[in-house]
Structure 1
Amino acid sequence: MKALKILLFCFLIVSCEKKENLHPYTFYYWKTKLALNPEEKKVLDKATIPYLYTRFFDVNKVDGKFQPVAVITKDKSFQTNKQIVPTVFITNQTFLNISGDEIKFLAESINKLIQKKITEYHFKVNNEIQIDCDWTAGTQDDYFKFLKELQEISGKNITCTLRLHQVKDKKQTGIPPVEKVYLMCYSTSSPLETSDKNSILDVTILKNYLAKLEDYPIKHIEVALPIYSWGIVTNHLGKHKLINALSQKDLENPNFKKFSENEIIIQKDGFYFGSFLNKGFKIKIEEISDSQLKEVIAFLDKKIPKFNIIYYQLDSKFVINQNFNL
């Protein structure tokens, strides 16, 4: 009887530890038209972080002028109790050859458009604005000036994304002047290059980039993990294009001939997945498994004392049957 009690006690301890080790999570929302179907609402409601990281618009520089791109619109179905975290993607070229006055103008314009959308759509927001930019050694100074300027103008807590190469090459790319960064644990290679690796996430490549993550000067690091998928179409000339949200089940077609678990060659000209594809074209599916995500999380647990997870992205195509309590 005593042994049974000890065994039960040990089981309860292990169970509690397992629950405590689960990372709180939520999602990125990266569509131009904000809308939530029942499946997405259900999944979002279960998320254990009270925020939804929502892309408001992109910014690019065209002919020397700053341009907002794909500014959000909102459907009445987009209803959530989560606080919205405005997120803005800015191209790296936006910060090439930019003057001090332009940096201030850019910060003012971005803050103004964010506030306009918050007011227009009656968003419940927290005190954060997240900036997503793949800055480089050549743009780091001006990008960092922009982050400081936006902080001062908005009065908000400015955070930013952190790509893998910006961790590995931190001496060249610099450390952003923010208190919190979001480590993007995906896009380990280009999908438009011929390779046998998974371009969304190759865990070996990721571990190489993040080998010294524990030495990164900013200690408040959240983690963005991929749950998306796509198909890479290769034509007769070896050129590639992407078809979003394809999975291995989409390869089940009598006009396709499989030559590996996740690759087919088209046997008949026709319209497939909204595109006209010729006989002889190849399609390679790239998607992410639970085992890959678990391996990344286990690796990061040794590097970062504590972190939240933001899954990219909230879309019923990607969240159905997904296990988020990893």
Structure 2
Amino acid sequence: MKIVKLLFILILFASCSSKENHPYTFYYWKTHLKLDQEEKKVLDQASVPYLYTRFFDIDKTGGKFLPVGTITKDNSFKTDKQIVPTVFITNQSMFCISAEEIRFLAKSIHELVQKKAKEYHLKINNEIQIDCDWTAGTRDDYFKFLKELKKISGKEITCTLRLHQVKDKNQTGIPPVEKVYLMCYSTSSPLENSNKNSILDVTTLKSYLSKLEDYPIKKIEVALPIYSWGIVTNHLEKHKLINALSKKDLENSGFKKISDHEVEIIKDGFYFGSFLSKGFRIKVEEISNEQLKDVIHFLEKKIPHFNIIYYQLDSKFVSNRNF
């Protein structure tokens, strides 16, 4: 009897202490493809055999669709991972778009993806991911575009899914894809006056995703933030962003510490490539490993097994991370 009880306790302990191991990889979101030694090392250790790589953006200007920030490639960009081409499309590009324009856009995107893959000898897989913050007003035409891109390319078409598109799914609709990538960041605007972390406020995220288990598309991968930035506020309470700042960057004799993540500039000068005046404030927003663990634990209760794609692969962001 004692042996049975002991076995039961051991089994119970093992089940309570077990941790799901989520395969992971990264987004690569730079216009010029290159990898330093730290990035190569971290990417090689990633357990998912793909690297989600932004190829270009699409915007509509003067009634014409234009590729923006098309990638170039450095010789240092070498990896055994298969490349998943990712294309960002502005929501305004989907307003008042005709059937002919949908066909043109799908054909143009497919051809440009193929051209860049061939030009830079990129080993792409059978997927194209589309990133668009579609809304209730653009959903129908955006969904038609996704179907057309699948038809023209013959590829598996996937798309990103933002928090509001989960919460307001009755208004924004369900995209016609078999797999989505849930973007667990950008919970608010960094250019608003707020005490919340605009990259990721876990309480806000949990509120938006309270009914995630009811989302009709069951194949959901998870994108998590590891990036950081600094929000500069001037005398008029206007804001601008400086990418990739961390708390360590606030250790400067020209700064006066206001809080753990914020300083006031006490000496005019050039800081982080910009001239900043005395009295300006800099607030750093970054994401801790504890916050990421909290989000992962929450999502494990909502959706079945998922892969994690960290945004983004950059030596500034991957150092001192436990993936």
User: 1:283–1:113: structure 2 CA closer, same or farther, 3 Å change rule?
Assistant: same
2:295 corresponds to 1:288: no
Residue equivalent to 1:155: 154
> What is the DSSP-based 3-state SS (H/G/I as helix, E as strand, rest coil) of the residue aligned with 2:232?
strand
Name the CA shift for 1:169/1:80 in 2 (closer, same or farther; >3 Å). Answer: same
Q: After TM superposition, give the deviation of residue 22 of structure 1 in Å.
A: 1.3
* Cα deviation code 1:25-76 (max 9, x no counterpart): 0000000000000000000000000000000000000111000000000100
Question: Structure 1 residues 22, 279: CA separation in 2 closer, same or farther (over 3 Å shift)?
Answer: same
Cα distance, 1:123 vs. partner?
1.3
Q: Give distance in 2, aligned partners of 1:23 and 1:287.
A: 22
What stretches of structure 2 of length at least 5 have no aligned partner?
none
In the TM superposition, what whole-angstrom CA distance separates every residue of 1:206-257 from its partner, at most 9, and x where no partner exists?
0000000000000000000000000000000000000000000111011100
Letter in 2 for 1:264: V
Matching of residue 79 in structure 1 with residue 83 in structure 2: no
Q: Deviations over 1:129-166 (max 9, x none)?
A: 00000000000000000000000000000000000000
Aligned to 2:312: 313
Give the aligned residue type for 1:178: V
- 5+ residue gaps, structure 1, are none
In the TM superposition, what is the alpha-carbon distance from 1:7 to its structure 2 partner? 8.2
Q: CA deviation at 1:82?
A: 0.2
Give SS of 2:76's match: coil
- What is aligned with 2:190? 191
Aligned residue type for 1:202: D
- Closer, same or farther: CA 8–243 of 1 in aligned 2, 3 Å: farther
Number of equivalent positions: 321
Task: Give the letter for the 1:150 counterpart.
Answer: L
Which letter does structure 1 place at the counterpart of 2:152?
A: I
Using structure 1 for the length normalisation, give the TM-score: 0.95
In 2, the alpha carbon distance for the partners of 1:9 and 1:44 equals 41
Aligned to 1:323: 322
Equivalent position amino acid for 2:70 in 1: V
Deviation at 1:321, TM superposition (A): 1.1
Q: Could you tell me which residue of structure 1 aligns to residue 62 of structure 2?
A: 63
Alignment partner of 1:214 is 2:236: no
Question: Equivalent residue for 1:228?
Answer: 227
Residue 144 of structure 2 is aligned to residue 145 of structure 1? yes
Flag as ranges the 4+ runs of structure 1 deviating above 3 A.
6-20
- State the 1:8 CA deviation: 11
Change (3 A) 1:22 1:33: same
Counting aligned pairs with the same residue, the percent is 75
Q: SS of 2:206's equivalent?
A: helix
Distance 1:25 1:11 in 2: 30
RMSD between aligned alpha carbons?
Answer: 1.9
Find the residue that maps to 2:123 and give its secondary structure: coil
